[in-house]
């Protein structure tokens, strides 16, 4: 580097941020290498100061590496930046992947310390710093392949610069620097990204966190919707419900809950495989996401009740009863919205059963299908929605959630206004 530095702490101006731990995933062997995560990898965190105008503590040698912005490979590694992509949570996700030859980590236990900072272009604020420590187990001297590491962070629209370094206990350093840009396509500009422009945040790992309050607009009257969500895996044979399975469904609920024109929410979470309602929230002013998340933890997709297994039409009968129950009673709703992955049952809900239903409100179906070209056929819920002359939307990308929910709420408002006019005119 041309200069020698005494190892000491330096104070760096830091703008306020909340600590955001990464999800702990364990570690596992890949073909030819290791992927390091939890138990081995500590949670990624903001190196936060005490608040606005606070400071972050970092060794001056690390700061010198970042300031010089010269790629270092004392510790051989390859850094591959990840393009900022919009997720179903309507946030841009960016980050990186790192590979290190196993031979460089061979021997006694080691500790890899990763530090990186993200600066928003054109924003007069100090960058946000992140740190993560990776405990490397004892590795044989003749180990082959590579170790894989990764990190993520969330951003709003804008351009960003990243200064990144990793060092081991021997003070060998690998450093890398890159720029990234988060930008909506022109056709997607109406979408409201969940993070303000030129803003950096730690990656959110809790899908079922509490939703911030929304100031409701009563100009369109007391609008209420009922949402029936089939929480099931994309792969109907899967024995577990993964975050990737629930991300779009939770995003649908959040997008609906954030629309200020809706005042009342009824949520019914169910699972066709288990043939049961997992969670119900009746006529509430907001959706209770933490309670919903707790309820979904009770799903046991790998096991089926013997009595239910003996019922040849069990899933169809459950769906039939669900539609009959949720459309009956005295509770009024301005729209019935189904959401979930493809539900390809052996038999659809009988037409005779659907004839018994008197909806009196528009019906919609948000069908979460990541590969619509591989599964283009209408499912059992879709057949029921078609009978009710409802509208089905295919959700395969984040933009689909935003535009589908926006259209649905607009149609619900128009439908209610039409009913009010007819009632007022005596028709």
Q: State residue 106's pLDDT score.
A: 87
Q: What six digits make up the tokens of 262?
A: 């809706």
Mean pLDDT, the chain, integer: 84
Residue 403 has pLDDT above 50, yes or no: yes
CA 381 from centroid of its chain's CA atoms = 24
Q: Report pLDDT digits (tens) over 141-168.
A: 888 888 889 899 999 999 999 999 999 9
Q: What six digits make up the tokens of 21?
A: 């731990």
Residue 51 has pLDDT above 80, yes or no: no
Q: Report the CATH superfamily, name and number, of domain 9-184.
A: Immunoglobulins (2.60.40.10)
Provide the pLDDT confidence category of residue 315 given band limits of 50, 70 and 90: very high
DSSP 107: B
Contact 113, 167 (CB under 8 A): yes
- Residue 258, H or E segment: helix 243-258
Provide the pLDDT confidence category of residue 306 given band limits of 50, 70 and 90: low
3-state helix/strand/coil string of 26-77? CCEEECCEEECCCCCECCCEECCCCCCCEEEEEEHHHHHHHHHCCCEECCCC
More confident residue, 50 or 205: 205
Fold of 224-425: Rossmann fold (3.40.50)
Q: State residue 160's pLDDT score.
A: 97
Provide the pLDDT confidence category of residue 42 given band limits of 50, 70 and 90: low
Q: Report pLDDT digits (tens) over 112-151.
A: 999 999 999 988 778 889 998 888 888 888 888 888 898 9
Residue 193 has pLDDT above 70, yes or no: yes
What is the residue extent of each domain of the chain? 9-184, 224-425
Q: Which of 314, 330, 226, 209 is nearest to 268 (CA)?
A: 226
Q: State residue 262's pLDDT score.
A: 94
Q: Which of 149, 166, 147 is nearest to 100 (CA)?
A: 147
Q: What six digits make up the tokens of 22?
A: 């990464």
The partner residues of 339 in beta bridges, in order of sequence, read: 229, 366
Q: Report pLDDT digits (tens) over 273-300.
A: 899 999 999 999 999 999 999 999 998 8
Q: Report pLDDT digits (tens) over 358-396.
A: 888 999 999 999 999 988 899 999 999 999 999 999 999
Kindly give, in sequence order, each residue whose CB lies less than 8 Å from that of residue 166, ignoring residues fewer than 6 positions away.
Answer: 75, 77, 98, 112, 113, 114, 115, 149, 173, 174, 175
């Amino acid at each position: 580097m041309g200069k020698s530095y005494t190892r000491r702490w330096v104070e760096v101006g830091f703008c306020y941020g909340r600590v955001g731990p990464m999800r702990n995933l364990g570690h596992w062997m890949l073909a030819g290498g290791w992927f390091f995560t939890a138990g081995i990898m500590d949670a990624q965190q903001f190196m936060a100061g005490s608040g606005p105008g606070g400071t972050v503590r970092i060794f001056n040698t690390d700061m010198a590496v970042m300031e010089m912005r010269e790629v270092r490979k004392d510790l051989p590694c390859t850094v591959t930046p990840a393009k900022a992509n919009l997720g179903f949570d309507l946030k841009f996700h960016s980050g990186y992947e790192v590979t290190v030859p196993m031979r460089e980590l061979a021997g006694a236990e080691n500790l890899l310390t990763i530090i990186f900072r993200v600066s928003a272009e054109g924003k007069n604020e100090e960058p946000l710093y992140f740190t993560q420590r990776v405990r490397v187990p004892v590795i044989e001297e003749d180990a082959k392949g590579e170790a894989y590491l990764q990190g993520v962070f969330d951003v709003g629209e804008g351009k960003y610069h990243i200064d990144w370094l990793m060092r081991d206990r021997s003070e060998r350093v690998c450093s890398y620097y890159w720029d990234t840009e988060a930008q909506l396509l022109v056709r997607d500009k109406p979408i409201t990204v969940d993070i303000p422009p030129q803003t950096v945040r730690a990656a959110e790992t809790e899908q079922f966190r509490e939703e911030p309050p929304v100031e409701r607009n009563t100009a369109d009257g007391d609008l209420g919707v009922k949402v029936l969500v089939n929480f099931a895996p994309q792969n109907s044979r899967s024995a577990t419900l993964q975050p990737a399975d629930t991300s779009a469904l939770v995003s649908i609920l959040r997008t609906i809950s954030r629309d200020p024109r809706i005042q009342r929410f009824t949520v019914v979470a169910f699972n066709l495989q288990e043939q049961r309602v997992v969670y119900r929230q009746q006529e509430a002013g907001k959706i209770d996401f933490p309670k919903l998340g707790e309820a979904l933890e009770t799903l046991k997709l790998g096991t089926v009740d013997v009595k239910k297994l003996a019922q040849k039409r069990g899933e169809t009968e459950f769906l039939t009863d669900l539609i009959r129950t949720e459309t009956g009673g005295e509770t009024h709703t301005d729209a019935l919205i189904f959401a979930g992955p493809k539900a390809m049952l052996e038999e659809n809900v009988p037409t005779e059963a659907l004839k018994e239903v008197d909806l009196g409100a528009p019906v919609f179906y948000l069908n979460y299908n990541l590969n619509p070209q591989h599964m283009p056929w209408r499912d059992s819920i879709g057949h029921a929605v078609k009978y009710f002359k409802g509208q089905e939307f295919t959700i395969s990308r984040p933009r689909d959630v935003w535009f589908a929910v926006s259209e649905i709420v607009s149609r619900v408002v128009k439908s209610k206004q039409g009913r009010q006019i007819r009632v007022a005119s005596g028709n």
